[in-house]
Amino acid sequence: MKVQIEESWRLRLQTEFDKPYFAELVAFVKQEYRQAQVLPPGHLIFRVFNTCPFEQVKVVILGQDPYPAPGLYDGVCFSVPEGVPIPGSLANIFLEIHHDLGKDIPTSGNLDRWVKQGVLSMNSVLTVRAHETGSHRNQGWETFTDAVIRKLSDERDHLVFMLWGNYAKAKAPLIDAHKHLILTAAHPSPRSADHGFFGCRHFSRANAFLKAWNMGEINW
């Protein structure tokens, strides 16, 4: 199957695109777009990949579902478009960066500046029905994004994987801990951030690891 995605990703993921599960996933997603309001708009589904080629990835942040409210999800996990109020989880991420690195808290929730530096902030499920959290789970997206994680683990060296919350932590077995840094913490959601996200210092720890391997730090 031919998929419109940045070439470095297409070359490495074509074997996934050619598998039966992916054809079934595409058929499901296309039907959903025909009969319901689905987020994000189709051209943004693979935006984080199109903005961050395979060879440029330094840090992987893994989420679960896109924001289900129209106008929030722009194809990058935790990110929102310019001018949109910053959601609670992202506000807590910015607060942790402030305490960890002393940086001012941004007024914009657009994370393109991270992605362009090599931060692949990716949801495990890449589409959702508007106002229906989790509506596209268990349709094949997880199989695809698990393959992305494995491909990065196998073919790259010295990456940082940030796994926040139990769902993301469960992906740790996909990653080779001998050559990558796996950072785990509670989810930054307002419901759980006080239980292990605040104080995790993942951003300074990530930069220290990247610097040690001459990878170049992220300007968080």
Show which residues are catalytic. Answer: 65
Q: Is the dihedral of CA 71, 72, 77, 82 positive or negative?
A: positive
CA distances from 44 to 2, 5, 25, 132, 156 (A): 17, 10, 17, 19, 25
Q: Are 63 and 168 in contact (CB under 8 A)?
A: yes
Cis peptide bond upstream of 85, omega within 30: no
Q: Are 210 and 218 in contact (CB under 8 A)?
A: yes
| Coil, helix or strand at residue 56 | helix
3-state DSSP helix/strand/coil % of the chain, to nearest 5: 40, 10, 45
Burial label for 6, CB within 10 Å (0-12, 13-18, 19+), is middle
